[in-house]
Amino acid sequence: MKKVVKFGGSSLADSGQFRKVGAIIRADESRVYVVPSAPGKRFSGDIKVTDMLIEAYRIATEGGDLNAQMEEIKARYDEIISGLGLDFSLDDEFKTIIKTLEDEPTLDYAASRGEYLNGLVMANYLGYEFIDPYDVIFFNEEGNLNSYKTAKVLSARLEKTPKAVIPGFYGQGKDGKVKTFTRGGSDVTGSVVAAAARVDVYENWTDVSGFLLADPRIIRNPVPINTITYRELRELSYMGASVLHEDAIFPVRSKGIPINIKNTNRPEDEGTWIVESTARKPKYTITGIAGKKGFCSYLITKAMMNSEVGFCRKVLSAFEENNINIEHMPSGIDTMTVVVHEDEFLEKEQKVVSAIHRLSQPDTVEIDSGIALIAVVGRGMKSQRGTAARIFSALAHARVNVRMIDQGSSELNIIIGVANEDFETAIKAIYDIFVITQL
C-alpha cells in the first residue's frame, strides 16, 4: 500500500502544525510521497507566504528594496526550523532567491518559492529525499500541464525513490522557466504525483474534516459528506462549492485512485472519500447542495422551433461568436432558454441579441436577470421516487418561487433557478427536507 499525502498551507503554517504533519506521516508507513504547500495563514488576517512572495515580486519589478520583505518571509521559515529543532539553514537559498528576483524577476518563480522552501524543510524534517518539481513536472506551450512528458519523467524518478518530498504548485515551463499552476495548484501536484506513482490513495490534508453537504455560511453545522463520486463533486464544485482545485481530479480519476480529504487538526476523523464509483449508499437521498447567484436567462421563442433542423445550433453560435460560456439550456416546444453568467455577459448583451436575430430569426428574445441557480446533487436520486416532489414542495412551503428547472437524463442532479433574494431560503428549505427531517 502506497499513499501520496498533500498538505495545504494551513497544515504547514508554523512549527506546531509541522509537528502534527510529522506525526501523521510517521503514523502510517504507506505515506511515502509528501506534497507540501507553502506556509499558509496562522490566524485569520495573517498573510500566506505565497502572497508575501508575490508582493516581493512587485517590489522587485518596481526596483524597490527587497530586503525587508524577504526578511519577513525568512522569519516564517526560521520559526519552523527552530521550532522543529532542525540543524538546517535556508540562508543560501534566500540569497539565491533575492538575487534572482533582482536580476530577472518572474511572477511564477517568486510565487513558487514558498513551496520550494517548505519542501526543503519538510524533506530535512522527515529524512525523505527532496525532488524539485522543476525537474519532473512539465508544462506545454499553452501553459497547461504536459501530462505525457510529466508522467514519463516523474514515474521513472519515483520508481527509484521510495520516499520523497515533492513541493506542490509548480514545474518547468516550455521556455525553461519556473511555471506555476493557478492558485491552489498544490492539489494538482498531489494528483499528478499520485497518478505517476500509481499509489492506492491520494490523501489531501486540510483544515476541515472533508466536504460538507451544504455551505456552512448558509447552513449552521451542515453534516459532512462521507463518500462522493467524481461526477457528483464536479457538479457541486462547478456550482460554487469550493473544494479541491478543479484540475486535481483528472490525473487520479483516470487511474481509478480515490482521494481522501482529511483534517490535519483531527486526523482521527474519516473525512470525505472521492471515488469513481461506489456501492455505499449515501445516508441522505442527496449528496450535496451548492449554488451561485448572478445568472441571466435568454428566453427565445419561435413558432414551430422544434421542427426546424439546426435551430439550436444557430442560437448557440450567437453566444459562441461573442465568446460567452453557456451554463444551462432548458427547452420547451417552441421555446429555448439559455442561461449565462451575468458578469461575463452584461456588456455583450445587445450584441448577442442581434446575433440571435441575424442567425436564427426567432419571434422574440427576452432577457431576465437576477437568477440564482441551485444544484441538488446525488447519485441516490435516480433510484428514489419523489425526490423532485420533495424539493418543490419544500420550496413552495418556504414561499420560494421557482423560475427554472433543469434535470439532465443522468439524474445526478436537479438544477433549480430562483430569484437571487430567495437563494438562502431555498437552500435552507432543501437542506431541511433532506437532512433535518431525517436526523
Q: Is 48 in the site for ligand ASP (CB under 6 A)?
A: yes
- Residue 93 buriedness (CB in 10 A; 0-12 / 13-18 / 19+): middle
CB of residue 286 vs ligand ASP: minimum separation in angstroms? 29
At 353, list the grid cell: 441579441
Report, in Å, the least distance between residue 245 CB and ligand ASP. 7
Residues 28-47 touching ligand ASP, rule: CB under 6 A, are 37-38
Q: Select the span of 185-193, 199-207, 375-383, 421-429 touching ligand ASP (CB under 6 A).
A: 185-193
Helix (H, G, I), strand (E, B) or coil at 249: helix
- Cα–Cα distances (Å) from 321 to 280, 313, 335, in that order, read 44, 12, 21
Nearer to ligand ASP, 50 or 337 (CB): 50
Strand partners, 202: 4, 259
Distance, in Å, from the CA atom of 106 to the CA atom of 100, rounded to the nearest integer, reads: 9
> Among 133, 168, 271, 378, which residue interacts with ligand ASP (rule: CB under 6 A)?
168
Closer residue to ligand ASP in complex, CB, 38/90: 38
> Which phi and psi (to 5°) does residue 275 adopt?
-130, 165
> Residue ranges of the alpha helices (H) in 145-274?
147-159, 186-197, 230-238, 249-253
| C-beta closer to ligand ASP: residue 7 or 311 | 7
Piece of 22-30, 78-86, 182-190, 314-322 that binds ligand ASP (CB under 6 A): 182-190
Which is nearer to ligand ASP, 9 or 378 (by Cβ)? 9
Of the residues 169, 273, 284, 423, which one makes contact with ligand ASP according to CB under 6 A: 169
Can you tell me which of 106, 186, 264, 337 binds ligand ASP, judged by CB under 6 A?
Answer: 186
Angle between helices 349-360 and 311-321 (to 10 degrees): 150
Closer to ligand ASP by Cβ: residue 233 or 394: 233
What is the DSSP track for 77-128?
A: HHHHHHHTT-----HHHHHHHHHHHHHS--HHHHHHHHHHHHHHHHHHHHTP
Fill in the per-residue mask, 68 to 107: x = in contact with ligand ASP (CB under 6 A), - = not in contact: ----------------------------------------
The sheet carrying 402-407 orders its strands as 335-341, 288-301, 364-377, 413-419, 402-407
Element holding 344 (H helix, E strand): helix 342-345
Nearer to ligand ASP, 154 or 214 (CB): 154
| Sole binder of ligand ASP in the list 171, 184, 222, 288 (CB under 6 A) | 184
Contact 412, 378 (CB under 8 A): yes
Task: Please say which residue, 122 or 372, places its beta carbon nearer to ligand ASP.
Answer: 122
Closest separation in Å from C-beta 348 to ligand ASP: 31
Q: Which parts of this chain interact with ligand ASP (CB under 6 A)?
A: 9, 37-38, 48, 50, 114, 168-169, 183-187
